[in-house]
């Protein structure tokens, strides 16, 4: 009877759930209507040294020249994703990680129609500058920029990251980890302990309390109730960064599929999350991450999570089977009681004779 009670309790839990149920394209350049530029520059520069580089700007407009003003602005994070929050105001306070004092670019440039123009860029790190990550953005504008903060897609920018080697403070902590529903046009992304849809994405949210940007690597392992394992070997395929002070959510597809998309009058390969093929049931997930700047000890961070995958069809089948088992047990109990009652009547009848 104890096992029967456990089955009934499990059935009620599933019934409650039944009532409640029912990244990234890789490109070599960022372009606006008439502008094509490299989206990011990365440098490793020792204190007291200077790096000189060039940036090529392409004018996609074949009918008229492109006149641009350029300036260096700081940026921070707008959310737990990868969209920078540009600090466009002229009087915006300088961030602690600002590269503005060290970065030199031309104030303006003219790019002929349908042509390209290469400009010079230099990053000079002072001799006594402390180790860590420093970053700002190059803003390209065809007119006077308006104040306020805008998303990356609203302006032509190149993000510039510089790492100064030395003894740095590195500290990543896991804030959240588990099954994840990616953001859509109508819903924000969220972690889900119980899901009725086939899981496609596992995510983890890291808080960066150090003074360097971090790009974690590692793996995620899923294990079902029968011990079958599914491994995600690349948990940061785009080498995304957790900025200083940011809580960054990294998403990983349980199973990847390649797709072709149109890009710059051609095609480019991109990856998307495919159906994971996971069976319904309970899953445990383990996260094993590594991070660290060159010249510093590699750090490790781990986390564990779990979730239920209970599609509606499985819930219905489970309830039907559960009710069938319960009915079978009830019939068996009634049958046993009937036999006992019949035997008792026979005994009483014999005694009377």
| In contact, 124 and 102? CB cutoff 8 Å | yes
Give every CB contact of residue 192 below 8 A, 6+ residues apart in sequence.
Answer: 178, 179, 180, 181, 307
Please list the pLDDT of the chain residue by residue as tens digits (353 residues). 444 444 444 444 433 333 333 333 333 345 455 788 899 999 999 999 999 999 999 988 888 888 899 999 999 998 888 888 999 898 899 999 999 999 999 999 999 999 999 999 999 999 999 999 999 999 998 854 444 433 333 358 999 999 999 989 999 999 999 999 988 877 888 999 999 999 999 999 999 999 999 999 999 999 999 999 999 998 998 889 999 999 999 999 999 887 666 655 566 667 788 888 899 999 999 999 999 876 667 899 999 999 999 999 999 998 999 999 999 999 888 888 777 777 776 676 766 66
Which residue's structure tokens are 């903060």? Answer: 149
Q: What pLDDT is attached to residue 11? A: 45
pTM of the model: 0.76
What's the number of CA atoms in the CB half-sphere (13 Å) around residue 62? Answer: 0
Confidence (pLDDT) at 138 = 95
Give CATH superfamily name and number for 30-164. Answer: Immunoglobulins (2.60.40.10)
- Specify burial of residue 341 (Cβ count, 10 A radius: 0-12, 13-18, 19+): exposed
- In this predicted structure, what is the pLDDT of residue 229? 94
Per-residue confidence (pLDDT) for residue 235, from 0 to 100: 93
Question: How many other C-beta atoms are found inside a 10 Å radius of the C-beta of residue 203?
Answer: 23
Q: What region does 114 belong to: left with phi over 0, alpha with psi -120 to 50, or beta?
A: left
Predicted confidence at residue 234, as pLDDT, reads: 86
CATH code linked to domain 169-309: 2.60.40
Q: Do domains 30-164 and 169-309 have the same CATH topology?
A: yes
Residue 136: CB atoms within 10 A of its CB come to 27
Domain positions in the chain are: 1-21+314-353, 30-164, 169-309
**Contact of 191 with 176, CB cutoff 8 Å:** yes
């Amino acid at each position: 009877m104890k096992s029967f009670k456990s089955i009934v309790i499990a059935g009620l839990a599933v019934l409650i759930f039944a009532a409640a149920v029912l990244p990234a394209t890789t490109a070599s350049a960022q372009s606006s209507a008439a502008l094509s530029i490299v989206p990011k520059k990365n440098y490793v520069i020792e204190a007291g040294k200077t790096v000189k580089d060039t940036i090529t700007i392409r004018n996609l407009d074949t009918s008229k020249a492109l006149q641009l003003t350029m300036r260096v602005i700081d940026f921070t994070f707008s959310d737990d994703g990868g969209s920078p929050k540009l600090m466009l105001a002229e009087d915006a306070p300088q961030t602690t990680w600002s590269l503005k004092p060290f970065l030199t670019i031309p104030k303006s440039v003219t790019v002929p129609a349908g042509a390209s123009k290469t400009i010079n860029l230099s990053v000079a790190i002072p001799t006594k500058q402390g180790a860590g990550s420093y970053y700002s953005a190059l803003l390209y504008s065809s007119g006077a920029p308006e104040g306020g903060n805008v998303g990356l897609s609203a302006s032509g920018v190149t993000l510039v990251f510089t790492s100064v080697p030395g003894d740095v403070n590195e500290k990543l902590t896991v804030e959240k980890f588990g099954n994840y529903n990616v953001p859509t046009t109508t819903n924000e992304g969220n972690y889900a302990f119980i899901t009725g849809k086939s899981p496609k994405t596992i995510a983890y949210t890291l808080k960066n309390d150090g003074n360097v940007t971090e790009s974690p690597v590692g793996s995620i392992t899923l294990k079902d109730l029968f011990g079958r394992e599914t491994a995600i070997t690349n948990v940061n395929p785009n080498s995304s960064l957790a900025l200083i002070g940011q809580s960054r959510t990294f998403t990983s597809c349980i199973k990847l599929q390649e797709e072709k998309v149109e890009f710059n009058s051609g095609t480019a390969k991109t990856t998307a999350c495919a159906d994971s093929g996971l069976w319904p049931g309970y899953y445990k997930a383990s996260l094993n991450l590594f991070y660290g700047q060159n010249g510093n000890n590699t750090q490790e961070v781990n986390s564990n999570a779990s979730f239920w995958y209970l599609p509606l069809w499985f819930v219905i089948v489970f309830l039907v089977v559960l009710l069938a088992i319960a009915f079978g047990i009830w019939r068996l109990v009634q049958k046993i009681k009937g036999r006992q009652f019949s035997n008792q009547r026979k005994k009483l009848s014999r005694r009377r004779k």
